[in-house]
Amino acid sequence: MTRTAVGSPTRGTTNPNRLRRVDRWLTGAPEVWALLRRTPDPLVVDLGYGASGITTIELAERLGEVHPGVRVLGLELDPDRVAVARPAADPPRLDFRRGGFELAGTRPVLVRAFNVLRQYGEDEVPGAWRLVLDRLAPGGLLVDGTCDEIGRLGSWVTLAADGPRSLTLSYRLKSLERPSIVAERLPKALIHRNVPGERVHEFLSVLDKCWAAAAPQGAFGVRFRWREAVRMLTTLGWPFLDGPRRWRLGELTVPWHSVAPR
């Protein structure tokens, strides 16, 4: 296994709480919770954390509330970024190191890669996914996603060794005008597929229509409107992997096959 850092430096944009939505999902998703609970001494890698280590620090704090024994390692290609983050390290609970898709020779059970592949070509995504997946511990998961600069909306793909499993959308409902706004923050594997004839375009188009039709429920609050829109989607036959408890948070998770590129 090569120990040479693999990848291209990202812009490094980061902000406190930018990744709070995916962190909330990670601490509440049954498959992630179970994975951490059944793994002795679980290691989680935050891949490409950016110019500041703040979101890695937040990830360690939030996961630590679910599993006090979890270790979080932030990896960055730029040694200057590692040097900036290193003073916040608290081994073994939290550490920072230079590394890329090769994961610095580690075997984590979970990798969070946010706003990393957005700057790559769509044709480079499968190879990057495979590099990471091949280095995970047995049963491990990769979460590849994108969000806006202050974390109001985002989306992510969850992958296992056999490939993508699901797509999750997450919104700050109070400021939501229409669900398809997330199209500009889709993961790289889907962002160029939001065109007629593609599954993800059909999904977002139908979701917009349901959101518009659910407008009367807005009189009871935006969460009621969102849940009604999702309920309408279910009646149209769209499959979901979560339920009302996550929907009320502005989340929605669908199987990958329902939005996968054609």
Domains, the chain, ordered by start: 20-171 (3.40.50.150), 173-250 (no CATH)
Asked whether 36 and 63 are in contact (CB, 8 A), the reply is: yes
What angle, 0 to 180 degrees and rounded to 10, lies between the N-to-C axes of helices 30-38 and 54-66?
80
Q: Report how far residue 132's alpha carbon sits from residue 92's, in angstroms, rounded to the nearest whole number.
A: 22
Asked whether 53 and 85 are in contact (CB, 8 A), the reply is: yes
Residue 254's Cβ-side half-sphere holds a number of Cα atoms within 13 Å equal to 19
User: What is the average pLDDT score of the chain?
Assistant: 95
Find the range with the poorest average confidence among 6-20, 52-66, 123-137: 6-20
For the stretch 224-230, contacts whose Cβ atoms lie closer than 8 Å and that sit 24 or more positions apart, written own/partner, are 226/171, 226/173, 226/176, 226/250, 229/179
CA 45 remoteness from chain centre: 13
Strand segments (E) across 8-152: 43-47, 71-76, 94-98, 110-114, 141-147
The model scores a pTM over 0.85: yes
Q: How confident is the model at residue 2 (pLDDT cuts 50, 70, 90)?
A: very low
Positive or negative, the CA dihedral 142, 152, 251, 25 is positive
Asked whether 70 and 42 are in contact (CB, 8 A), the reply is: yes
Section 85-94 average pLDDT = 96
Q: Report how far residue 193's alpha carbon sits from residue 182's, in angstroms, rounded to the nearest whole number.
A: 13
Closest CA to 185 of 202, 173, 168: 168
- 3-54 pLDDT tens trace: 677 887 777 678 899 999 999 999 999 999 899 999 999 999 999 999 999 9
Q: Report how far residue 229's alpha carbon sits from residue 210's, in angstroms, rounded to the nearest whole number.
A: 5
Residue 77 has phi, psi (to 5 degrees) of -75, -35
Q: Is 79 exposed, middle or buried (0-12, 13-18, 19+ CB in 10 A)?
A: exposed
Section 60-75 average pLDDT = 95
